[in-house]
Chains A and B, each alone.
Chain A
Amino acid sequence: MKEAIELGLMALVLSDMALLGIGLLSTCIRIVAFQGVLLGLFSVAVNWGFLTPRVWILAAVSGLLKGVVYPLLLRRAVSDAGVQREIEPYVGPIPSVLAGIALFGASVWIGGRLPLTGAAEAGSRLIVSASLMTLLTGLFLVAARKKALTQTLGYIVFENGIFAFGVASVGEIPALVELGILLDAFVAVFVMGIAMYHINREFDHLDADRLNALKG
């Protein structure tokens, strides 16, 4: 199981790098869906050996939300807005990938310094690093991309990172709280979707950098 977890974490980090390097929105959405499914499997794998119904339900709900519902919402936003790719982001693909390497370095450094009990139990030193990497990638996408869609994508990736971190470090917070959190994240993405709809209708574009009337 440890090898499987490590492989999954590696896939998570690689998908982060891919998100940083790829500007094609439909591919990015597919990668985010892949991350969602991966995280669902991940929460099962970490709890392998004491699989309670709670674990299955949370894994199923999160996998369904992150792997199916969000991508569908985003895909609809893409087709509504008619945007295909991120044109001229603030940071281009190669600098983004380089930044990703730096972010990963930082996450490994931090991950090695956080004495967390949960990660040790799951048996992999990479869990914390990989989840931090995902979190930072999401943050980077929110900050360094111009399209409202990519920013939403970044928010989902950010949430994925937090989810992975939660699974890795805590594991057993009450299901009610976790479901509340998942619901919140879902509503957040939903609200962002509605917001994008309005922005697209009002401005005829989804460029967050052109929303710059308010200053000072």
Chain B
Amino acid sequence: MQTFVPWIQFGIGLVLSPLLAGIVNRTKAFFAGRRGQPLLQVYYDIAKGLAKGAVFSRTATWIFRAGPLIGAAAAVTALALAPFGGRPAAVSFPGDPILFLGLFGLMRGLTVLAALDTGSSFEGMGASREVFFSALTEPVMMLGFLALARESGALSLSGILNAASLERPETALVAVALFIAFLCENSRIPFDDPNTHLELTMIHEVMVLDHGGPDFALIQAGSAVKFWCLGSLIVNLFLPLRPDWPWTANTAAGLAAMAVLAVSVGVVESVTARLRLNRVPQLLAAAAALSALALIFSLG
């Protein structure tokens, strides 16, 4: 049974990840005084997309079709590496944080290529911003992982995150930095507004404007899984769970914490405004500074 637990959690992640977006949306609706979409709206969207056919531009190449597919595959692979609820992940080996970040890099890279492939200037603008921001978030996460690795002595994501405890100031710093990176990576406010309808202000959304049908469903599923993966890392940092507790309890606690995370993202989106584009690097630099400070703390 114990060997299957990580795979069960993997399955839970795969199935429940679209729910998180629903929770975020409901929270925002609550703050705005609306009823909001159904909780399962993302599921409906994905199902609707998968059932449809797609129209492709004559100028687009195979890259345009490969983007969503490989992106979703990369996200699902990353999900297998992400520990959940204080238990080791399904796949875990020394150095896997680099693979973890690399998979998201791959996902992003293909999304960007697919966007450029359309030849649309809006999508090119979105791609440029996306690359710019992610170039700043990667050091945040890398330095954060380094600090945690240095502190725990482990080299795999599971080992690093399960040994971390918030009582140490370093971990707290990394947790804050990772949360900022999490918001940026998942294109949430204050970095990007997922609900915007103006192409000029879009970042992530503008890149996928030309995708439709099953491709767009894959993109939605992929970003839901990405949200889950990165979220589970943060939840792991905050939850003082131990691997030797019953896995059902751990999983339940993890799920509850994910829900709380989704609610808090909703709260952040409701109470903050989106940053001016030229302020974004400053916030990300601050996050990188937090990670770097944590690393120096752990070295000292």
A and B touch in the complex (CB under 8 A): yes
Residue contact B282 to A94, C-beta cutoff 8 Å: yes
With a cutoff of 8 Å between Cβ atoms, the chain A residues found around residue B292 in the complex are 101, 104
Say how far B149's CB is from chain A's closest CB, in angstroms: 18
Q: Is A21 an interface residue (CB 8 A)?
A: yes
Number of interchain pairs (Cβ within 8 Å) = 48
A108, A111, A126 pick with most chain B CB within 10 angstroms: A108
A3 within 8 A of B: yes
Interface size class of A (residues with CB under 8 A): 20 to 34
Contact bitstring B268-287, A, C-beta under 8 A = 1, else 0: 00000000000001100110
A172 CB → nearest B CB, Å: 26
Interface centre among A10, A21, A98, A112 (most CB of B within 10 A): A10
Task: Tell me which residues across on chain A come within 8 A of B169, comparing CB atoms.
Answer: 6-7, 9-10
Q: Which residues of A contact B300 (CB under 8 A)?
A: 108-109, 111-112, 125-126, 129
A21 touches B296 (CB 8 A): no
Distance between Cα atoms of A98 and B285 in the complex (Å): 8
The CA-CA distance from A125 to B296 in the complex, in Å, is 13
| Residue interface bits A74-114, CB-to-B below 8 A is 1, else 0 | 00000000000000000001100110110011001101100
Find the A residue at minimum CB distance from B289: A97
Knowing A21-B289, A105-B296, A112-B300 touch, does A10 contact B282 (C-beta < 8 A)? no
The residue that B167 contacts in the complex, of A3, A111, A129, with Cβ under 8 A, is: A3
Q: Tell whether, in the assembled complex, residue B293 and residue A21 are in contact, meaning their CB atoms are under 8 Å apart.
A: no
Name the distance in Å between A130's Cβ and chain B's nearest Cβ. Answer: 10
- Let me know if A97 and B293 touch, CB within 8 A: no
Q: What residues of chain B lie closer than 8 Å to A6, measured between beta carbons?
A: 169
Q: Is the interface of B mostly helix, strand, loop or mixed?
A: helix
> Which residues of chain B come closer than 8 Å to A112, judged between CB atoms?
300
Determine whether the beta carbon of B296 is less than 8 Å from that of A93.
no
Contact of A108 among B173, B286, B297 (CB under 8 A): B297
User: Which A residues touch B32, using CB under 8 A?
Assistant: none
Bound Cα distance from A106 to B199, whole angstroms: 45
Most B CB within 10 A of own CB, among A14, A17, A101, A112:
A101
With A10-B173, A108-B297 given, name 14 new contacts (CB 8 A): A10-B169, A10-B172, A17-B293, A21-B289, A93-B285, A94-B282, A98-B285, A100-B289, A101-B289, A104-B292, A105-B296, A108-B300, A109-B300, A112-B300
Interface residues of B (CB under 8 A from A): 167, 169, 172-173, 281-282, 285-286, 289-290, 292-293, 296-297, 299-300
Q: 8 tightest CB-CB pairs across the interface, nearest first? A: A108-B300, A10-B169, A101-B292, A94-B285, A97-B289, A105-B296, A108-B296, A104-B296
Can you show 20 pairs from A to B with CB atoms below 8 A apart? Answer: A3-B167, A7-B169, A10-B169, A10-B172, A10-B173, A10-B297, A13-B293, A14-B290, A17-B286, A17-B289, A17-B293, A21-B282, A93-B285, A97-B286, A98-B289, A104-B292, A105-B296, A108-B299, A111-B300, A129-B300
